[in-house]
């Protein structure tokens, strides 16, 4: 399928904090049912249960999807479906789902208003994080306001805990199926630096 081929080619081109579409235990029932028994409605409900009906996550470690670039979401969903990105809590949920449904899901979440700043801003931490982002040239891929584009995810307003956990994965070489550009970008940063960077990004509003 065209999307599957494009996503496979893009796996090495993700300049992204791959917002792995992690679902929490609430989706266990949907995962346990056979693919034939699942419907677009039950899959959407499973997504909403963890990522929020408005696409804004209120669960620790679960990313917000609202306002993410459509192409990023499409590719991410296909990569998970094809097993190129391993998200254990989503195993079975996307099995057998056709491209059209994945495109519809991506369009739905991309069209939602992006999240506001995820946490109150600590000026000192945010300042350190901003300087790091400038030094690391984060804006060259994610844009100056970190809203993302094309295959590159939105970082502004993303959950702080999710951002930090993802950057730690990149820093320790555990971000399987994601672009090595990010691993190089965070190489050598102390954990305190990663924490300040995550805080800065989480407190950004960014443009829609």
Domains of the chain: 2-111 (1.10.760.10), 123-202 (1.10.760.10)
Q: Model confidence at 9, in pLDDT bands (50, 70, 90)?
A: very low
Once rounded to an integer, what is the mean pLDDT over residues 113-130?
Answer: 96
| pLDDT value of residue 201 | 98
The pLDDT of residue 24 is above 60? no
Q: What is the dihedral of CA 192, 196, 198, 200, to 10 degrees?
A: 180
For the record, the structure tokens of 192 come out as: 């305190």
For the record, the structure tokens of 148 come out as: 């993302």
Q: Model confidence at 92, in pLDDT bands (50, 70, 90)?
A: confident
For the record, the structure tokens of 59 come out as: 């669960």
Q: Which of 13-22, 60-69, 138-147, 195-204 has the lowest mean pLDDT?
A: 13-22
Q: Model confidence at 89, in pLDDT bands (50, 70, 90)?
A: confident
Q: What is the pTM of this model?
A: 0.81
Q: How far apart are CA 38 and CA 97, in angstroms?
A: 9
DSSP single-letter state for residue 120? -
CB 97 within 8 A of CB 43: yes
Chain length of the chain: 208
- The alpha helices in 25-176, defined as continuous H runs, are 28-32, 40-51, 70-81, 99-111, 123-135, 139-142, 160-171
CB 110 within 8 A of CB 148: no
CB 63 within 8 A of CB 57: yes
Q: Model confidence at 180, in pLDDT bands (50, 70, 90)?
A: confident
């Amino acid at each position: 399928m065209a999307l599957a081929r494009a996503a496979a080619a893009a796996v090495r081109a993700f300049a992204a904090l791959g917002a792995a579409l992690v679902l929490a235990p609430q989706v266990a029932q949907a995962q346990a049912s056979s693919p034939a028994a699942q419907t677009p409605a039950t899959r959407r409900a499973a997504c909403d249960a963890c990522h929020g009906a408005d696409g804004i996550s209120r669960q620790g470690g679960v990313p917000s999807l609202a306002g993410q670039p459509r192409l990023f979401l499409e590719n991410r969903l296909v990569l998970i479906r094809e097993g190129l990105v391993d998200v254990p809590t989503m195993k079975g949920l996307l099995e057998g789902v056709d491209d059209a449904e994945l495109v519809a899901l991506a369009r739905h979440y991309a069209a939602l208003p992006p999240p506001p700043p995820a946490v109150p801003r600590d000026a000192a931490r945010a300042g350190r994080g901003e300087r790091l982002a400038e030094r690391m040239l984060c804006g060259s891929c994610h844009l100056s306001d970190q809203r993302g584009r094309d295959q590159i995810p939105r970082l502004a307003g993303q959950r702080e805990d999710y951002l930090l956990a993802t950057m730690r994965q990149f820093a320790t070489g555990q971000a399987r199926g994601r672009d090595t550009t990010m691993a190089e970008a965070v190489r050598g940063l102390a954990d305190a630096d990663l924490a300040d960077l995550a805080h800065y990004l989480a407190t950004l509003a960014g443009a829609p």
